[in-house]
Amino acid sequence: MSKNIFKPDPLLDSALRPKSWRDFVGQEKIKKNLQIMLESARKRKESPDHLLFYGPAGLGKTTLAHLISWEMNAGIKVTSGPAIEKAGDVASILTNLNEGDILFIDEAHRLNKLIEEILYSAMESRVLNLILGKGPSARTVQLELPAFTLIAATTRMGLLSSPLRSRFGAIFKLDFYENEDIEKIIKHNAQVLEIEIEPQAIKVLALASRATPRIANRLLKRSRDLAVVEGNGIITDEIGKRSLGLFEIDEVGLEATDRKILETIIDKFSGGPVGIAALAAATNEERDTVEEVYEPYLMRLGLIERTPKGRIITDAGYKHLNLHNLKKNKQEKLLD
């Protein structure tokens, strides 16, 4: 079993995916804007504008696409940037759409140029331009497409080409969740999973969830298993804490790589500022992973800051590491 808290669990995601706006907790501004857009589209009897969602993984981009399809009573086809390689792939997806369908493309920053170009005319004027054959005998065919809404999601807004970006009617940024929203999600999903959870345990799990619903769900599921196998079927404070141990995360959700990043900024770069490329090299991590996965949450906790010259560690960052090391030393002494 993987210890990695970030590893997706598609079955769990789909089992716990909110099926109505009421169950979609938080992100109030986005919810309100979307509801107005959808209501207007329904009144005009048209498909909603093409939409782009961006923000860290696990915050609800896919969920929003599904909610929109339910709300509009429309079909949804789900694919992702890397899955669409050739012109034929995108042609077959587009020509198989029904009137009013939602086409959801995850990881849109990984679409290749050729596919992007085919999408432009499909998005703007609902036509599919295809070149058949090669060389002098090549010819262009134009196919009309049904009305559809493209919903794209990306964790890397900066990597999306600007011509593609400009073709969306609305762009929404998903932010990390407030702690109380994560608590609500855990409480609600404990009911869905039919497991009892103590109020204090909800707090423990929420604080360690990196302000991310997907991680909250993973922690809840692992705690449930522990409670069933090793406890009396109730997620207690202690069971909750033990589940953090299984993922090797601390009480605020930091794992070994987060701490390595903090330590590296202190030890190798005297607390910063350090550029992202140097930081990635010194920690032996992919630059994308540091930028996409670790840095946003470390910034959210206020442990590092981004300055024009690079990342610096904050006083809170020093304090967090000191506390962690103190605790670790104490534990090691106890074990001696």
- List the catalytic residue out of 101, 106, 181, 258: 106
Per the annotation, the verdict on 61 as an active-site residue is: yes
Q: What is the DSSP string of 15-37?
A: HT---SGGGS-S-HHHHHHHHHH
Which CB, 5 or 153, lies closer to ligand ADP?
A: 153
Rounded to a whole number, what is the distance in angstroms from the first to the last CA of the chain?
A: 29
Footprint (CB under 6 A) of ligand ADP, residues 172-191: 185
**Contact (Cβ atoms closer than 8 angstroms) between residue 61 and residue 153:** yes
Taking CA 292 as the corner, what is the angle to CA 288 and CA 298, rounded to the nearest 5 degrees?
125
Question: Cβ 215 to ligand ADP, closest distance in Å?
Answer: 8
- List the catalytic residue out of 167, 184, 210, 214: 214
How many of the chain's residues bind ligand ADP (CB under 6 A)? Answer: 20
Q: What is the dihedral of CA 265, 267, 268, 270, to 10 degrees?
A: 70
| Binding test (CB under 6 A) with ligand ADP, winner from 26, 81, 240, 296 | 26
Which CB, 13 or 305, lies closer to ligand ADP?
A: 13
Per the annotation, the verdict on 62 as an active-site residue is: yes
| Binding test (CB under 6 A) with ligand ADP, winner from 103, 153, 204, 293 | 153
Residue 59's closest CA among 241, 300, 276?
A: 300
| Binding test (CB under 6 A) with ligand ADP, winner from 41, 54, 60, 115 | 60
**Contact (Cβ atoms closer than 8 angstroms) between residue 86 and residue 132:** no
- List the catalytic residue out of 63, 149, 155, 264: 155
Q: What is the dihedral of CA 256, 262, 265, 270, to 10 degrees?
A: -130
Verify binding: residue 18, ligand ADP, rule CB under 6 A.
yes
Cα–Cα distances in angstroms (integers) from residue 163 to residues 101, 116, 120, 128, 160, in the given order? 23, 9, 8, 17, 9
Cα(195)–Cα(297) distance, integer angstroms: 29
Per the annotation, the verdict on 154 as an active-site residue is: no
| Binding test (CB under 6 A) with ligand ADP, winner from 6, 24, 54, 269 | 24
Q: What is the contact mask toward ligand ADP in residues 248 to 287, using x (rule: CB under 6 A)?
A: ----------------------------------------
SS3 of residue 107 by DSSP? coil
Site residues for ligand ADP per CB under 6 A: 13, 16-18, 24-27, 57-63, 153, 185, 213-214, 217
As annotated, the active-site residues are 61-62, 106, 155, 214
